[in-house]
Amino acid sequence: MATFLYRLGRLAFRRRRVVVMLWVAVLAAIGIGAMTAPGTSSGALSVPGTQSQRAIDLLQKEFPQASADGATARVVFEAPSGQQLTSAANKAEVESLVAKLEKSPQVSGVTDPFSSGLVSRSGTIAYTQVSYKVAQADVSGAAHAVQTEVVAQGEKAGLKVSLGGNAVENKATSKAAELIGVGVAAVVLVITFGSMIAAGLPLLTAILGVAAAVLSVTLATHFFDLASSSTTLALMLGLAVAIDYALFIVSRYRNEIRDGHDPEEACGRALGTAGSAVVFAGLTVIVALSGLSVIGIGMLTSMGLASAFAVAVAVIIALTLLPAVVGFAGPRIMNGTLHTRRMKALERGEGESMGVRWARFVTRNPVKVLAVSVAGLALLAIPTMSLKMALNDDSGKPPGSTQRIAYDTLSKGFGPGFNGPLTVVVDARGSDDPKAAAQDTYTMLSKLDDVAAVRPPSFNQAGDVALLGAVPKSAPTSEATKDLVGEIRDHGTALHQESGADLMVTGLTAVNIDVSTKLSDALIPYLAIVVGLALILLLLVFRSIVIPLKAALGFLLSVVSTLGVLVAVFQWGWLKDVFGVDQTGPIVSLLPIVLIGVVFGLAMDYEVFLVSRMREEYVHGAEPTQAIVGGFRHSGRVVTAAAVIMVSVFSGFLLDDEALIKSIGLGLAAAVFFDAFVVRMTIVPAVMALLGHRSWTLPKWLDRILPDVDVEGEKLRHALEAGQPDSAPEPVLAGVTAGSDGHRIPHTFGEPHSSGATDTPVPARQAAPEKTRGLSRLKQRLALGGDATAPADSQKSQASARRKPLRNPLRRS
């Protein structure tokens, strides 16, 4: 693979105009197709095989007028202070608003609050239930406009009118998080590279990659029903990994330039080494996200596949478009005009970077560092034992939003259970007496302690399927409501034995409970799949038993610690004022599963980027401790920059008003922080320092079985060196000196050497004929002890004498 990527990098660099034009054409074609796409859906949850879904399917067949899978809205009315809705004027106004709703487009039915008993005992609060013929995603703008008009007309008459339910249009989400993330990424990249050009390349290619991925997902809605959250997750994760991959390759490219290679050769070598790591890191993310489809929930499947596609696009962009753009930048990518004084000193080989000092500290004190790190993460993981999960409802909406006002008003007037009524279906097609079975169910529901109200049964035309309603006393996301649903279903077993009828519970609350149960049951198996995947892929990449086990255990530590933080903040209420959380409750059921998939991908990125460089140092002859330090010397800064960017991007979601978005932002930011800085950059080197050579051992029988993927580019290095005689001096770029560790440390172009001398520039008239080879010839002359200002004839003769031995064996003529 390394050899293929080496040739791909050189080809994209050399044919950069063609590559860029092809990508522009692809983006244009995708954009045109996306403009006519229907767009993503809301991603309404459906879980085939669950009781609630079977009941919905039955209602669609037997009660088509009920629109069982259609969107619903609750319009809540509250009388002015000191008045009642039952007064003549207020009642007339409410009836007028209800009539307006009945004439709304796509509406299948509206309940009358006065005739249906939907007025509170105090007479101050009432509500009407609006059922739509279409699903949430298909509610038209005209229908939303009627909702807005009803609110405005009611408030004009002095009433307080609010809207709840899934048919209500959500407030447009702010793009502040994405903008903050891109801004922080730009600053971090400039600090990392000290160059606007080097910093701009990862951002440019990442933005183009995300645009291609999001437009492709939108285009796919021509053929598939995709959830709107698919685009959001694809955008967030695609931007994250695209910056990471480009950052890693550009950093390696700059290192190859410093080691004396001309730009085209450096690009090939960067892709042959760092590109291999990017491919395997991307592959782990793709497989982990695609694994979300095995859970069997449509929304998760579309989220996982769309995000996996975005990661695949990021990898392809990094391997094709990035080398082409690097070709346009040329040697200017090395201009470190924004370097600090300390960075310039490091470039001259003076002192050590913070990453190297940290690596030396960890390898000198591995036991203490390991004990403190593991104990700290274990302490943070303790709250995980109290984890409770549920799907979010309107109680998690931002304070002051119409959904939150409707939820609170309804709870005040009727009790929290009225925000999540249960639909009970009696399938009596196999019963001798359907009416008796339905009446027995009504009686049973009326006797349950946690039921506040029961609606009498209504039958289909055949009279063998009954529909009842039950309102819990407790909130939709409470444990009491979950227990109530379980108790009703338990009674269904007895009903079937007595009458032959089947009892099923559905409705949004029951669907949410079923989905939460399915997600809870899938959490451990999915985690096992992800960890098993990590073991196999890392075993292939690093050819070691210890490193995959260490990586998998570190990932588990990151996950449980992050869940502990989420429980402490959003469930227990610790530091809730700091994070702007106004109401505590269960963790959203989707979050742990999505968290595992996303964090696994990013964790494997950091593991591969950091440890692959350690392995490269080790296979080149370094001792284990030296290999660890060498890995931090070359990749520590890149991994730190990537992690800081990710933490900043995800932390930006804490600015959102909605608790769900806050929990996602805090969860992802904490997970990346723990995994990158505590696990990968602390626990990993500590364990490897303790184990020494054993970290890299592999049983001989397993070594023979496993394919050699050569992620560190060792075969490529041997192939490149095969065409160079041992006596040939290694080319050295102007301004490069050897550091204390044997690695070449560059000077900034045009800056003085440590001896005080200044590089002599190449005359413009000599470099002009062949721009890409001018730098290479300069290196060859310097390697031979020549002067950059020597006569042209002597320069040509020296270059000619050395050109054949320095010929690259992998370069195609």
User: Could you give the C-alpha distances from 178 to 213, 236, 641, 739, in angstroms and in order?
Assistant: 16, 8, 17, 40
Q: What is the pLDDT of residues 389-446, one digit of tens each?
A: 887 778 878 888 899 999 999 999 999 998 889 999 999 998 889 999 999 999 999 9
Per-residue pLDDT at 656: 76
In Å, the largest CA–CA distance within the chain is 110
Q: Which two tokens stand for residue 744?
A: 């070449």
Residue of 742 and 359 predicted with greater confidence: 359
Q: Is the pLDDT of residue 345 over 70?
A: no
Q: Which of 88-92, 336-340, 408-412, 544-548 has the least mean pLDDT?
A: 336-340
Contact between residue 202 and residue 111 where contact means Cβ atoms under 8 Å apart: no
* 201-215, 357-371, 615-629, 763-777, range with the lowest pLDDT: 763-777
467: phi then psi, degrees, rounded to nearest 5? -120, 120
Selection from 434, 411, 401, 410 nearest residue 500 by Cα = 434
Per the prediction, the chain carries an average pLDDT of: 80
Confidence at 34, pLDDT banded by 50, 70, 90: confident
**pLDDT over 70 percentage in the chain:** 82
Pairing of strands 744-746, 422-427: unpaired
How many CB atoms are located within 10 Å of the residue 764 CB?
Answer: 8
Residue 53 pLDDT > 50:
yes
Tell me what pLDDT residue 741 has: 37
pLDDT value of position 46: 66
- pLDDT category of residue 790 using cuts at 50, 70 and 90: very low
Amino acid occupying residue 379: L
Q: Residues 6 or more apart from 588 whose CB is under 8 A from it?
A: 389, 390, 391, 392, 396, 660, 663
Question: Tokens 């997750």 sit at which residue?
Answer: 233
Q: What is the pLDDT of residue 609?
A: 81
337 three-state secondary structure: coil
d(CA 158, CA 148): 16
Q: Which two tokens stand for residue 514?
A: 């079923």
Whether the pLDDT of residue 188 is over 50: the answer is yes
**Residue range 713-759, pLDDT digits in tens:** 667 776 776 654 343 343 343 333 433 333 343 443 333 333 333 33
Q: Is the pLDDT of residue 281 over 70?
A: yes
Structure tokens at 182: 């891109």
Q: Pull the structure tokens for residue 381.
A: 């993981």
Q: At what angle do helices 176-193 and 196-220 cross, to 10 degrees?
A: 150
CB 549 within 8 A of CB 532: no
d(CA 45, CA 60): 16
Q: Model pTM?
A: 0.76
pLDDT value of position 18: 94
What are the distances in angstroms from CA 794 to CA 669, 731, 791, 800?
Answer: 59, 18, 6, 10
Measured CA to CA, the distance from residue 254 to residue 246 in angstroms comes to 12
Rounded to whole angstroms, what are the CA distances from 736 to 220, 259, 532, 685? 51, 8, 44, 29
User: Which of 346-360, 422-436, 606-620 has the largest mean confidence?
Assistant: 422-436
**CA distances (Å), origin 529, targets 97, 596, 637:** 53, 11, 31
| pLDDT over 70 at 798, yes or no | no
* Of residues 723, 332, 294, the one with CA closest to residue 527: 294
| pLDDT exceeds 90 at position 210 | no
